[in-house]
Structure 1
């Protein structure tokens, strides 16, 4: 076992769930992953996280999506790990022009009105313009297709956050 995963394995069920909720905002996902411990290594944790994620129903996915800030949105100061990670992940939107931020806000509004949830994208390494282009492109998807794409983006975000959670 690796030391990083050993820390997660050593937590109480409640502590493990709380830690995992920082990575993915679905309570059912966090509970099921926590109940699957102990993990041999990070690879096993990520496989389990994926298995649990894809076995969930869409309301659980929507719960996870709702835990995210909108792309480009400035939120009140929140010092939680997940808020700090979200800010870091969305760093590409930070230096965006006022026009781009306005376009992002309008496109976010259009997306939420069309699909009923916020736009989810694994923003790490993407500029505001790239995220805006993806948002506009995805506005044209059928709802079922878009839900699966958003779920895959959440899965990618969860992987990055699990790695951050367990990094020394």
Structure 2
């Protein structure tokens, strides 16, 4: 059975749980659950993007609470059991980071959260720790409403990657 057929055949509760692993917005996960069955993976991705575009600031902030801070690799498995392995893969760029970069990210995350009221969210896949630090520093200059939209866009990218992982998992 294909993973798409598996996903389409889950009970609503099971499907909502799986979609929540991809994006922590309850409204989005429920809408994706109701949108089933998907005739193709492309249709699933298209619908996921369209439904994310219909969400707003409350949904974005809720989704952000389901992510660890960039660089907080030690807490990934503890706090985020449902997505810990995925988050760890996404943050592979942290593995070779020097202590100076790790400390700068920790300090920057703290300052970012104090300024904006939510964690720094970036699609970390394929980015080095130094690249993520540069993005964090650049985004600190954004007005709060603009930064919330930027972070929501990053969540959309993360959601797509996680949906791909969901459909490719054994």
- Is the 2:113–2:120 Cα contact (8 Å) retained in structure 1? yes
Confirm or deny that 1:48 pairs with 2:60.
Answer: no
- Taking only aligned residues, the RMSD between alpha carbons, in angstroms, comes to 1.4
2:154 corresponds in structure 1 to 153
1:26 corresponds in structure 2 to 25
Q: Which has the higher mean CA deviation after the structures are superposed, 75-84 or 114-123?
A: 75-84
Q: How does 1:89-168 map to 2 (within 5 A)?
A: 89-167=90-168, 168=170
Question: How many Å separate the matches in 2 of 1:32 and 1:158?
Answer: 14
* TM-fit CA distance, 1:90: 0.4
TM-score w.r.t. the length of structure 1 is 0.95
CA 76–56 in structure 1, closer or farther in 2 if over 3 Å, else same: closer
* TM-fit CA distance, 1:76: 6.0
1:85 corresponds in structure 2 to 86
Deviations 1:88-129 (A, max 9, x none): 100101221111111000100111011100000000010000
CA 76–9 in structure 1, closer or farther in 2 if over 3 Å, else same: closer
Tell me, what secondary structure is at the counterpart of 2:75?
A: coil
Gaps of 5+ in 2: none
- Is the 1:25–1:66 Cα contact (8 Å) retained in structure 2? yes
2:56 corresponds in structure 1 to 57
Gaps of 5+ in 1: none
Q: How many residues align?
A: 167
- Is the 1:72–1:94 Cα contact (8 Å) retained in structure 2? no
CA 65–76 in structure 1, closer or farther in 2 if over 3 Å, else same: closer
